[in-house]
Amino acid sequence: VQLQASGGGLVQPGGSLRLSCAASGSIFSINVMGWYRQTPGKQRGLVASITYGGRTNYADSVKGRFTISRGNAKNTVYLQMNSLIPEDTAVYYCNTNLRLYSSVRYEDYWGQGTEVTVSS
């Protein structure tokens, strides 16, 4: 399984960015896809997630500013980040819980991080 994430960068406070993540491989079923973020010295924490059925979950700190969505193919997830603040600066990681054709279990997979810097 590969998770290809993109869309990070430098943005001024109040600006917007859109992160994308696509899962590829011999995927039988995807349970949930989401985004986590991590800053130096802190644990990785959930930003937002979306289930196959479309149920979403957000960290309190991003509610009303970030929107998670899935592509039509269901193996792609987007994170629209608006009204960015310096506290959003972090490395963002794509995550998915899925089952491969070769397995009977659902397992977690992680993409490479993409850096988001919010600074003037």
Q: Tens digits of per-residue pLDDT, 10-29?
A: 999 999 999 999 999 999 99
Q: Give the chain's mean pLDDT.
A: 95
Compute how many other C-beta atoms are within 10 angstroms of the C-beta atom of residue 3.
Answer: 21
Model pLDDT for residues 34-60, shown as the tens digit of each residue: 999 999 999 999 999 999 999 999 999
Give the percent of the chain with pLDDT over 90: 94
